[in-house]
């Protein structure tokens, strides 16, 4: 079995807009993204200083992720987020998982 595609998306935002971005990304995932073919999971994080929001997401494949980006139901959320946040996306593959034994 192939490893999933891992996305680590870091948004930089003014602290007064951090909660707005968290709510927007939550809405995007709950209403659209999680229903798209190939979505596995995502975890949303916010920085203690209020300046960043990070989403760790797993997709079955790069193709599935690319299809999500083309999905008209998902794209308006990212467009809205980019009006008040800077977006830095990274695609990764899992090399090793460490667990407490």
CA-based nearest residue to 62, from 4, 19, 18: 4
Domains of the chain, start order: 5-93 (3.30.70.100)
pTM for this entry: 0.89
37-75 exposure pattern, b = at least 16 Cβ within 10 A, e = fewer: ebbeebeeebeeeeebbbbebbbeeeebbeebeeeeebe
pLDDT at residue 101 is higher than 90:
no
Residue range 80-97: average pLDDT? 94
Q: What is the pLDDT of residues 29-84, one digit of tens each?
A: 999 999 999 999 999 999 999 999 999 999 999 999 999 888 877 778 888 999 99
Q: Would you call 80 exposed, middle or buried from its count of C-beta atoms within 10 A (0-12, 13-18, 19+)?
A: middle
Kindly state the tokens that stand for 10. Answer: 């870091």
Kindly state the tokens that stand for 23. Answer: 């709510």
Q: What is the pLDDT of residue 64?
A: 94
């Amino acid at each position: 079995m192939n490893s999933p595609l891992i996305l680590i998306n870091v948004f930089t935002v003014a602290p007064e807009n951090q909660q707005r971005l968290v709510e927007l990304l939550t809405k995007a995932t709950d209403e659209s993204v999680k229903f798209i073919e190939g979505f596995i999971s995502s975890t949303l994080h916010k920085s203690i200083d209020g300046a960043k929001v990070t989403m760790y997401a797993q997709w079955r494949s790069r193709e599935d992720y690319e299809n999500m980006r083309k999905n008209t139901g998902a794209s308006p959320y990212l467009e809205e987020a980019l009006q008040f946040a800077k977006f830095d996306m990274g695609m990764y593959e899992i090399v090793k998982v460490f667990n407490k034994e």
